[in-house]
Chain A
Amino acid sequence: MPGGYTGTSRTRFMTPTQYDNDYVLCECDLEPLVSLVSELEKTHGVSIVKKPTVCSTMIRTEDSLEKQEFFLGEALITECEVAVDNTAGYGLCLGEEPQRSYSIAVIDALLHREATPREVLRFLDRQRDVIDERERREFNLILRTQVDIKLMEEE
């Protein structure tokens, strides 16, 4: 790779938080997520409080120098609310994704019980690795286009 790689390493999450779990649930492939939730439905009482609904979020941002906040535009999102064994769960994700938002809501509820089912924790760990690998591969393809620009007079 020309010029060498000099980026700053991102810290790998050490203790998964709500936020980290959301990252996995929003970024993982839909099929294994839906499959896991189908299994969980067999052993837990899931009721839909608010069915998956599309809505929007306004995106707040700011310019990089003056820190002037402004609205970039809106993003379409899907939200869902469920109760799993009487524990509330909220699912939110980008796009029109009824299955994903429902699945996130179910897992969100299970993550907030005292004992989260092991299969959920295993799923999160496994999918975190899958996403990490996929993202690293993509990032390394991008790094192949890193360029070392030389002035002609240096030739």
Chain B
Amino acid sequence: MGYVAVKGGQDAIANANELVEYYRLKGRTEPVRLDQVKTQFRLAIDRAMGEGSLYAPEHAALALIQVEGDSFEAAFHLRAYRTTLERRYYSEVMNTREMIVERRISSTFREIPGGQILGPTRDYSMRLLEPALLQQSLGSIDTFLEKVQGYLEPEKLHGITTFGKVIDLFQAEGIITRETQEGDNRRVVDVTREAIKFPAPRSAVLQMLARAETGGLMCMGYSTMRGFAVGHGTIGELRVGRVPLRVVDARGRRRYLGRIKVTECEMVGGAAKRRAAKRGEKNGRSSSKERPTLSVGYGLCFGQNETKAICMGMVDTALRSPDPLSPASSQEFVLHHTECVEGYGFTNHLKLPHYVTFQSELDNIRRVVKAGEQKPQAVTG
């Protein structure tokens, strides 16, 4: 079905744009400052940057102010802004082992090298509203900050460290398998420059999952745990922290740009064992002789967004275990339907005029109804 363009309403559109700004401001409260949003809404910023696929905390904060906190719109604005930037560099391959950790936990082992670090999290809070926040002032904030800083004993400060990864323990024991097979497509695809085709190489899958909408990805990840895919993975390691970013400059020198905060997750599951067994059967070998191993699903995204990284890991595992009964195992289903700007845009295009297409549909229905009425009534009984 084709589309027919419409025009008109320019004044009404301009007035609507002004009116939405009027609604944002009509309460006549102090303007929300960029630095306030940047520092006190860091998780909303992290989510917007992840879904907007642009690491730019100030611009994400601006987007959130402008769109009154709508995470879809904020991501949309960042993606739109991103297209105006000249991409002048490709970074060196970022090494998450260099991460200055803020948080790292494992659900597979109680004791991990370097220890479990809860970091800044609300995971263990009661989720009760805190009315005392309404009384906060700069003075009370300073008192709180001094209290926290006061916990440190300057003469007993530890040096900054990086930590080994939990999957190294599995690797040392030989119980995880690299699932990449000879002949697998390892080409590094950029989905911003190349339309995705299915089956997509894993590089494209990981790039799309990294910028997927958090809620959509959680829906897919949750479905895998509820029995619509390979099963309930376990968090081998979840870490949040800052990783150095480097590029090579015009003189060919390696330059440090700063550190970006990311969340990384390795989801460990039993899928590789089943897949190995299947491969064994396919190759005419007894599945019982296949060495049982664990699979690792990988999640990595901008900022502190643990739900997203965990679900990315679960979905990565599911996507490598094709199952016609599992939506989360279908590349096309997952990647198209968790793509936030496309999904949001397509859903919201429904609000635009569809008069001609709808009239055509209505005409067809009226014609069928009329034809039915003109038919002689069948004799029954």
Given contacts A4-B115, A56-B54, A57-B88, contact A22 B256 (CB under 8 A): yes
Q: Could you say which of B157-165, B213-221, B364-372 contacts chain A?
A: B157-165
Q: What is the CB-to-nearest-CB distance from A21 to chain B, in angstroms, rounded to a whole number?
A: 9
- Which of chain A's residues have a CB closer than 8 A to the CB of B191? 71
Cross-chain contact B254 with A146 (CB below 8 angstroms) = no
Which residue, of A23, A56, A79, A94, has the highest number of chain B Cβ atoms within 10 A? A56
Cross-chain contact A26 with B258 (CB below 8 angstroms) = yes
CA–CA, A74 and B262, complex, Å: 13
Q: What is the CB-to-nearest-CB distance from A24 to chain B, in angstroms, rounded to a whole number?
A: 9
Cross-chain contact A62 with B55 (CB below 8 angstroms) = no
Cross-chain contact A140 with B152 (CB below 8 angstroms) = yes
Given contacts A72-B210, A73-B50, contact A61 B110 (CB under 8 A): no
- Which of chain B's residues have a CB closer than 8 A to the CB of A73? 49-50, 53-55, 207, 210-211, 302
Cross-chain contact A23 with B157 (CB below 8 angstroms) = no
CA–CA, A118 and B116, complex, Å: 44
Q: What is the CB-to-nearest-CB distance from B120 to chain A, in angstroms, rounded to a whole number?
A: 8
Contact pick for B100, options A135, A147, A149, CB 8 Å: A135
- Which of chain A's residues have a CB closer than 8 A to the CB of B92? 60
Q: What is the CB-to-nearest-CB distance from B163 to chain A, in angstroms, rounded to a whole number?
A: 6
Cross-chain contact A92 with B249 (CB below 8 angstroms) = yes
Q: Could you say which of B178-186, B225-233, B283-291 contacts chain A?
A: B178-186
Q: Which residue of B lies closest to A104 (CB)?
A: B255
Given contacts A56-B85, A58-B90, A73-B211, contact A143 B188 (CB under 8 A): no
Q: Mark B104-139, 1 if CB is under 8 A from A, else 0.
A: 000000110111111110000000000000000000
Q: Is B93 an interface residue (CB 8 A)?
A: yes
Q: Mark A32-64, 1 if CB is under 8 A from B, else 0.
A: 000000000000000000000011111111111
- Which of chain B's residues have a CB closer than 8 A to the CB of A96? 56, 58-59
- Which of chain B's residues have a CB closer than 8 A to the CB of A71? 188, 190-192, 203, 207
Contact pick for A135, options B160, B204, B206, B256, CB 8 Å: B160
Cross-chain contact B82 with A74 (CB below 8 angstroms) = yes
Q: Is A31 an interface residue (CB 8 A)?
A: no
Count residues of chain B with CB under 8 A from any CB of chain A: 89
Cross-chain contact A139 with B59 (CB below 8 angstroms) = no
Cross-chain contact A68 with B255 (CB below 8 angstroms) = no
Cross-chain contact B86 with A56 (CB below 8 angstroms) = yes
Q: Which residue of B lies closest to A50 (CB)?
A: B250
Cross-chain contact A146 with B117 (CB below 8 angstroms) = yes
- Which of chain A's residues have a CB closer than 8 A to the CB of B254? 18-19
Q: Which of B68-85 contact A (CB under 8 A)?
A: 82, 85
- Which of chain A's residues have a CB closer than 8 A to the CB of B113? 6
Cross-chain contact A58 with B116 (CB below 8 angstroms) = no
- Which of chain B's residues have a CB closer than 8 A to the CB of A54? 85
CA–CA, A7 and B202, complex, Å: 33
Q: Is B96 an interface residue (CB 8 A)?
A: yes
CA–CA, A7 and B56, complex, Å: 31
CA–CA, A18 and B201, complex, Å: 37
CA–CA, A77 and B255, complex, Å: 12
Q: Which residue of A lies closest to B81 (CB)?
A: A76
Contact pick for A68, options B56, B202, B302, CB 8 Å: B202
CA–CA, A149 and B151, complex, Å: 22
Given contacts A9-B161, A65-B176, A143-B117, contact A76 B54 (CB under 8 A): yes
- Which of chain A's residues have a CB closer than 8 A to the CB of B160? 10, 135-136, 139
Cross-chain contact B54 with A3 (CB below 8 angstroms) = no
Q: What is the CB-to-nearest-CB distance from B358 to chain A, in angstroms, rounded to a whole number?
A: 38
CA–CA, A90 and B91, complex, Å: 16
CA–CA, A88 and B249, complex, Å: 12
Cross-chain contact A55 with B87 (CB below 8 angstroms) = yes
Cross-chain contact B300 with A69 (CB below 8 angstroms) = no
Q: What is the CB-to-nearest-CB distance from B375 to chain A, in angstroms, rounded to a whole number?
A: 60
Q: What is the CB-to-nearest-CB distance from A98 to chain B, in angstroms, rounded to a whole number?
A: 12
Cross-chain contact B163 with A60 (CB below 8 angstroms) = no
Q: Is B332 an interface residue (CB 8 A)?
A: no
Q: 24 A-B pairs, CB-CB below 8 angstroms?
A: A10-B161, A18-B253, A26-B257, A55-B86, A56-B85, A56-B87, A57-B87, A58-B87, A59-B245, A60-B90, A63-B206, A64-B165, A65-B178, A68-B186, A71-B192, A72-B262, A73-B210, A74-B54, A75-B91, A88-B251, A90-B249, A94-B55, A136-B160, A142-B120
3 interchain residue pairs of minimum CB distance: A7-B161, A94-B258, A57-B89
Task: Identify 12 new A-B residue pairs, CB closer than 8 A, beyond the known A136-B158, A142-B101.
Answer: A26-B258, A56-B87, A56-B88, A58-B91, A59-B94, A60-B94, A63-B300, A65-B178, A70-B203, A74-B53, A93-B257, A141-B151
> Which B residues are within 8 Å of any A CB, using their own CB?
49-50, 53-59, 82, 85-94, 96-97, 100-103, 110-111, 113-120, 148-149, 151-152, 157-165, 167, 171, 176, 178-180, 186, 188, 190-192, 202-204, 206-207, 210-211, 245-247, 249-251, 253-260, 262, 264, 266, 296, 298, 300-302
